[in-house]
Amino acid sequence: MDKIRIVGGARLNGTIPISGAKNAALPLMIASLLTDETLTLANLPRLADVALLKRILGNHGVDMTISGKRIGDPELSSETAHFTARTIVDTTAPYDLVSKMRASFWVIGPLLAREGFAKVSLPGGCAIGTRPVDLFLEALTALGASIEIDAGYVIARAPEGLKGGRVVFPKVTVGATHVTMMAATLADGETTIENAAREPEIVDLADCLIKMGAKISGAGTSTIRIEGVSRLHGARHSVMPDRIEAGTYAMAVAMTGGDVLLEGARGDTLERPLEILSEVGAEITVTNSGVRVYRNGADLRPVDVVTEPFPGFPTDLQAQLMALVCRAHGTSHIRETIFENRFMHVQELARFGAEIHLDGQNATIVGVPVLKGAPVMATDLRASVSLVIAGLAAEGETMVNRVYHLDRGFERLEDKLSRCGATIERISG
C-alpha cells in the first residue's frame, strides 16, 4: 500500500494549478444518464472516485471515451471525457458498487426520471457519519415516485413518469438537492425546491443541465425552480475548479510560509475560508488568474470557526484548518455542525505534538511552538490531507499511511507540492 513521505520545514513558493472539483464532477457525470446524446465534460479530475464512477455508469450502459492530450497541454492538466447513455441497459445499482462510493446512490434520480424505475442499494454508513437517505426518498416521493425498501435496496417506481411537485428540505442537503434537481428536469410540470443547498457545485450542475435543455432558475439561492421538459440533449461543459483543493493548498502555504498562486481558483467560491486565512495571518489576493496566498513567517493567530453550509465555512476544510491552527500563537475553537465523527484526525495530529481537546462536536486547539514529524494513519479523505499539512511544517520526517484516501480527492498532490519546494514523495508498497 502506498505511503507519502514528507520532510518538513520548507517554504512553498510557485504556482499550483487547481483541478476540476470532485464534488462537481460526480453529479455532472451522473447527469449523463438523463440523455441519449453525448455529454462532454472538460476539466475532469483524474481521481479514484471519478474512475470508480466511470465503472458504475458503464454498468448502466454509459459509453465513455477520453480525448487525447494535445501538444502544449500543461503536464498537470485534467482530462476531457465524453459520456453517452444511448440506452440504459441496467436500472439496478448493486451493493458491491454503491458501497464503495456514497455518491453513486445519486443515480437513482436520473434512472427514475428517464426509465420510470430504479433499484439502488442503500449506501450504508461511512467513516464521518451515517448520512441517511431519507431526504432523497422524501423528495422523490414528492415528485410522484413510489418507494419501497427491500433487502437493502431502494426500489423506486414512476411508471407514468415523475410529476412536478414541491420539495421542502427540513435541513440543507447537497446530495438530495443534486438528485432532486436532476430528477425534476424530466418531470411533468414545475418543481420547487425550498431550503435548497446553495453550494457552487449545485450552480455548476444547474449550468450544465441548462446547456442540455433543462429549464432551471434560482440555483445558488435557497429556492430552485425547475420546469420539466420531455427530453434533454447533449452538451459540453467544463467542471468548475475545486474550491476544497484550493482551500487546502491555501492552508498549506499559510502553515509553511511562502508565496503561491493557486492558478484557476475562484475567490467567489472561497470567501469565508479566505476571510479565516486572513485572520490567521496570511495575505490573500484574488486575481483574474487565481488566488495568491502569502505569509512571510509572522506568527499564526488563533481563530474561532463554526462549519456551516455554503456560504459558511465548509466542513470539508475543517480538518485542514485544525492542522493549521495547531501552530497558532494562542487558543482556537472549531465547532463541527455538519457531520458527526469528523474529528478522527485529532488523534493523528496529536502524534505530531498537537494539543487538542474535544467536547462533543467542539474542538479546542492550543497552539504549540513546534510540531514533530511522525508516522500517521489517514482515516478519511479530508483528514488525510490535514496530516500532509502538518507534516509540511513539522520538524523531521512524516510518513502518511493509507494514502488511497488522498487519491480519492486530490489529483497528483505530491507532484503539485514538490514543484513548490516541498520535500514530499510517494513510496509505492
| CATH number of residue 85's parent domain | 3.65.10.10
From the list 349, 318, 346, 345, the residue with the least C-alpha distance to 334 is 318
Cis? peptide before 311, omega within 30° of 0: yes
Cα–Cα distance between 205 and 223 in angstroms, integer?
15
Same domain, 266 and 234: no
Q: Are strands 3-7 and 397-401 parallel, antiparallel or unpaired?
A: antiparallel
Confidence of residue 78 (pLDDT cuts 50, 70, 90): confident
Cell of 38: 453525448
- According to DSSP, the residues that pair with 17 across neighbouring strands are 263
Is 22 among the annotated ligand-binding positions? yes
pLDDT digits (tens, 9 = 90+) for 197-216: 999 999 999 999 999 999 99
Measured CA to CA, the distance from residue 355 to residue 227 in angstroms comes to 53
- What distance in Å separates the CA atoms of residue 250 and residue 277, rounded to the nearest whole number? 8
The DSSP 8-state label assigned to residue 252 in this structure reads: H
Q: From 123, 127, 124, 136, select the one nearest 174 (Cα to Cα).
A: 136
Q: Which of 203, 238, 273 is the last residue of a domain?
A: 238
Q: Is the pLDDT of residue 153 over 70?
A: yes
Instruction: Identify the burial level of 195 via C-beta atoms within 10 angstroms of its C-beta, where 0-12 means exposed, 13-18 middle and 19 or more buried.
Output: middle
Rounded Cα–Cα distance for residues 204 and 210 (Å): 10
Count of domains forming the chain: 2
pLDDT band per the 50, 70, 90 thresholds, residue 69: low
- Lookup: cell for 384: 488525510
Query: Is 135 among the annotated ligand-binding positions?
Result: yes
Residue with cell 432532486: 180
Q: Does the structure show a pLDDT above 80 at 128?
A: no
Domain of residue 314, residue span: 3-19+241-427
d(CA 183, CA 187) in angstroms, rounded, equals 7
Confirm whether residue 102 is marked as ligand binding: yes
Q: Which of 216, 238, 260 is the last residue of a domain?
A: 238
Q: How many CB atoms lie within 10 A of CB 257?
A: 19
Residues 271 and 221 both lie in one domain: no
Kindly state whether residues 133 and 174 are assigned to the same domain: yes
Query: Are both 232 and 264 inside the same structural domain?
Result: no
pLDDT score at 73: 62
Q: Is 56 annotated as a binding residue?
A: no
Please identify which of the residues 126, 208, 326, 420 carries the catalytic annotation. 126
Task: Give 125's pLDDT tier (boundaries 50, 70, 90).
Answer: very low
State residue 238's pLDDT score.
Answer: 97
What 3-state class would DSSP assign to 206?
helix
- 416 marked ligand binding residue: no
338 is in an annotated binding site: yes
Q: Are residues 396 and 342 in the same domain?
A: yes
Whole-Å CA distances, 170 to 11, 194, 200, 218, 296: 45, 9, 20, 19, 45
Is the per-residue pLDDT at 85 higher than 80?
yes
- The question of whether 126 is a catalytic residue gets the answer yes
A 10 A CB-CB count for 116 gives 16
Tell me: pLDDT of 270 over 50.
yes
Nearest Cα neighbor of 367 from 321, 306, 400 is: 321
Residues 178 and 290 in one domain: no
Helix (H), strand (E), coil (C) string for 98-127: HCCCHHHHHHHHHHHHHHCEEEEECCCCEC
pLDDT averaged over every residue in the chain: 94
Mark whether 145 and 162 lie in a shared domain: yes
Q: Does residue 223 sit in the same domain as residue 325?
A: no
Question: Which residues make beta-bridge pairs with 400?
Answer: 4, 376
Asked whether the whole model's pTM tops 0.85, one would answer yes
pLDDT of residue 124: 59
The answer to whether 73 is annotated as binding is no
* Residue 42 sits in the same domain as residue 7: no
Count other Cβ atoms within 10 Å, centred on residue 71.
4
Of 207, 238, 269, which residue constitutes the final position of a domain? 238
Give the percent of the chain with pLDDT over 70.
96
Q: What is the 3-state secondary structure (H, E, C) of 27-43?
A: HHHHHHHHCCCEEEEEE
If phi over 0 gives left and psi between -120 and 50 gives alpha, with beta otherwise, what is residue 125?
A: beta
- Same domain? For 232 and 268 the reply is no
Q: Using pLDDT thresholds of 50, 70 and 90, give the confidence band for residue 129.
A: very low
- Do residues 249 and 262 lie in contact, with contact meaning Cβ atoms separated by under 8 Å? yes
| Mean local confidence (pLDDT), 191-196 | 98
Give yes or no: residues 116 and 183 share one domain. yes
**Percentage of the chain with pLDDT > 90?**
86
CA–CA separation, 262 vs 176, rounded Å?
31
137 marked as part of a ligand binding site: no
Are residues 316 and 215 part of one domain? no
Overall average pLDDT of the 268-286 stretch: 98
Please state which of the ranges 63-72, 178-187, 246-255, 259-268 shows the lowest mean pLDDT. 63-72
Q: Is 54 annotated as a binding residue?
A: no
